[in-house]
Amino acid sequence: MPVAKTPRPPRTRDGRSTQRVAVIVPAKDEEERIAATVRSARAIPHVDLVLVVDDGSEDNTQHVAREAGAVVVRHSHNRGKAAAMETGAAVVAMRDADGRAPRLLLFIDGDLGDTAVNTAPLVSPVREGVADLAIALLPRQQGAGGRGIVVGAARRAIQRLAGWSPTQPLSGMRCLTRDAFEAATPLAHGWGVETGMTIDLLRAGYVAVEVPCDLRHRASSNDLAGQLHRAGQYRDVMAAVGARQVRRAVDAMGRRVTR
């Protein structure tokens, strides 16, 4: 069985992990659901910080999130999910400068609402040192459209470049160690962030697992907006994969030259 690359988390004398968890919520124009998401996330065991990164919202996302109990940081303009994730991780790192072990990072979507607490199963395998990255397996979402083209492309790319075939390679709900997050940066742009992260970490020797979680969020439909969304996903996933193919080729060439 693979062993997590990150050192074993700190423990009490009776063997219990003392690892803290920070929830990071990249969000844009989520004022209708962000309060429920924050309140639900705060109920996840071992979570002592819920951080919302308002990525240039034009509504009251930041104020609603703050009133619900989140720490909020804001981008003055929309910079994309990867930038929001990196901002959130940087803020958590500043709060970790207290001499204690770095918090685990649990990334969740802002539209999970009351089901956000159901990401709790992602924490255990990482907190106990079984895996470096835990990815949520979501049930079929009501009203979801698409034919799985983008998912299939991402899955095949991860299998080809890193030797693992995940069920839901685009799942954004994921828990990982600080060490693993830093190994995955800089993150791939846009909707390619999850595919790029998974490839980079697996190729670096980190261990990933998928964990079923009963989550509900807004699913893209089959209308024009949904089709445009999936087209953007495909573009970004292919860009992330292409960059990693080039990197692998360059690495291989470098190894041949040094022999």
What is the secondary structure of 33-97 as a DSSP string? THHHHHHHHTTSTTEEEEEEEEES-SSSHHHHHHHTT-EEEEESS---HHHHHHHHHHHHHHHTT
pLDDT of residue 247: 84
And the tokens for 85? 């994730």
> Domain spans of the chain?
21-258
**Tokens 């968890």 sit on residue:** 21
pLDDT of residue 190: 87
Residue 248: which pLDDT band, with cuts at 50, 70 and 90?
confident
d(CA 159, CA 203): 11
Phi, psi of 48 (to 5 degrees): -120, 5
d(CA 141, CA 226): 14
pLDDT of residue 69: 97
Q: What is the pLDDT of residues 163-207, one digit of tens each?
A: 999 999 999 999 999 999 999 999 998 889 999 999 999 999 999
Q: What is the pLDDT of residues 222-232, one digit of tens each?
A: 665 667 767 88
> Of 103, 148, 106, 110, whose CA–CA distance to 123 is shortest?
106
CATH of domain 21-258: 3.90.550.10
Q: Which residue has the higher pLDDT, 16 or 214?
A: 214
What is the arithmetic mean of pLDDT over 47-60? 97
pLDDT of residue 241: 94
pLDDT of residue 256: 65
pLDDT of residue 230: 79
d(CA 230, CA 214): 23
Q: What is the pLDDT of residues 129-162, one digit of tens each?
A: 999 999 999 998 665 555 688 999 999 999 999 9
Tell me, rounded to whole angstroms, the distance of Cα 200 from its chain centroid: 13
**Residue 19 scores a pLDDT above 80:** yes
**Residue 75 scores a pLDDT above 60:** yes
d(CA 145, CA 70): 32
Q: What is the pLDDT of residues 100-125, one digit of tens each?
A: 899 999 999 999 999 999 999 999 99
And the tokens for 150? 């983008």
What is the arithmetic mean of pLDDT over 72-79? 96
CA distances from residue 154 to 209, 219, 221, 231 in whole angstroms, order as listed: 16, 18, 20, 13
pLDDT of residue 148: 82
**Residue 126 scores a pLDDT above 70:** yes
Phi, psi of 14 (to 5 degrees): -90, 15
Q: Is 248 left (phi over 0), alpha (psi -120 to 50) or beta?
A: alpha
Contact 198, 169 (CB under 8 A): yes
pLDDT of residue 253: 66
Question: What one-letter code names the amino acid at 100?
Answer: R
